[in-house]
Structure 1
Amino acid sequence: MTTTALLVMDVQNGIVARVPDPGYVPRVAAAVRAARAAGVPVLYVVIGFRAGHPEISPRNKTFGALPDGAYTPGDPGAAIHPDLAPRPGEPVVTKRRVSAFTGSDLEVLLRSRGVGHLVLAGLATSGVVLSTLRQAADLDFRLTVLADGCGDADPELHRVLLEKVFPRQAEVTTIEAWTASLG
């Protein structure tokens, strides 16, 4: 039997603060609680850099625009939102690019736990969720996307990804439907 894991991605203070939906954090917190109650491992993925951002190339349009100190160990914006904080023993994976796999040990953690099915939630739909979904599909993971566990600054792009792009490689469902399926 394939193990399922919930990936909660980029729910850091500096990112969550830009989400206009006040229900976002409580919904994702409900998914986390349900996963824990069902024995589904919860793994967190965060974007993080060393002081001075030596990992960021000036050619990288996304990360090259970050101000000094952003998403470094001393940045309060880099911390996981307190309402979604991991419990002791729940892994926090630091990535260096948009995909949860790039520059991280995520695949090693998943393979060592026998995980073959990933349930994705995170910010933004057109960022970490899209990039992680594409890479995970290429790595032969079974995928589920929690549509209301994702968010994006561009509502139309969010809609197109959830309705037209993601269903080609993943099951797209709601947090309520997914948590109900956990029994």
Structure 2
Amino acid sequence: MRTLDHGRTALVLIDLMDRIVDLPVEPRPGRAVLEASLALATDFRAVGAPVVAVRVERPGVEVQPPGSDLVASVAEIADEVVVKRSIGGFHGTDLDDLLRERGVDTLVLTGIATNLGVESTARSAVDLGYSVVFVEDAMAALTAQEHRAPVELSFPRLGEVTALADLVWGPAN
């Protein structure tokens, strides 16, 4: 069980955009990642903890590809939306400022792709001093191997890997 402090924890949803969620990803379909992420977002909102959605736009491209917006249900539940133009959610964005303004020191990460957007965001988060919790069953990558490698090798060194069912909220401060 991983106990979360709702006053200091934010959920960060990585690249839950229609065109990415609909890719053939593993070890679970993108729609399963979306459903798990939305369930977690609902729990965060219920206790007043922030939900931040991060989406990517290609730099220098005037018209983004179809499906580049967040999935509508993600856009609706997010307190903040951050647009990135690189792999990770921190570089060149105001993500760190948004989190610090809210007193956040712990991030719970979900999204697609495990080995790209999620891992890059996590590495920057750790460099910036955040604690990181990875919800393994709310992530996927283009192949099962690309998902497993960071989950088994990198993530345990960067933070804590857990399952959605093992997250619980601590008492209110």
- Relative to the length of structure 2, the TM-score reads 0.85
Q: Which runs of 5+ in 1 are unaligned?
A: 54-67
| Percent of aligned pairs sharing the same letter | 34
Aligned-pair distance for 1:109? Answer: 0.7
Distance of 1:153 and 1:4 partners within structure 2: 28
Distance of 1:170 and 1:77 partners within structure 2: 31
From 4, 10, 13, the counterpart of 1:8: 13
- SS of the residue corresponding to residue 43 of structure 1 reads strand
Deviations 1:95-152 (A, max 9, x none): 1100100121111111111111011011100111110111111111011011011110
1 or 2 for the larger relative contact order (CA 8 Å, sep ≥6)?
2
- Relative to the length of structure 1, the TM-score reads 0.81
* Rg larger for: 1
Count of residue correspondences:
161
Matches within 5 A, 1:23-172: 23-49=32-58, 52-53=60-61, 69=63, 72=64, 75-87=65-77, 90-172=79-161
Once superposed, what is the RMSD of the aligned Cα atoms?
1.9
Amino acid at match of 1:79: D
Preserved CA contact (<8 Å) 2:10 2:106? yes
Preserved CA contact (<8 Å) 2:33 2:111? no
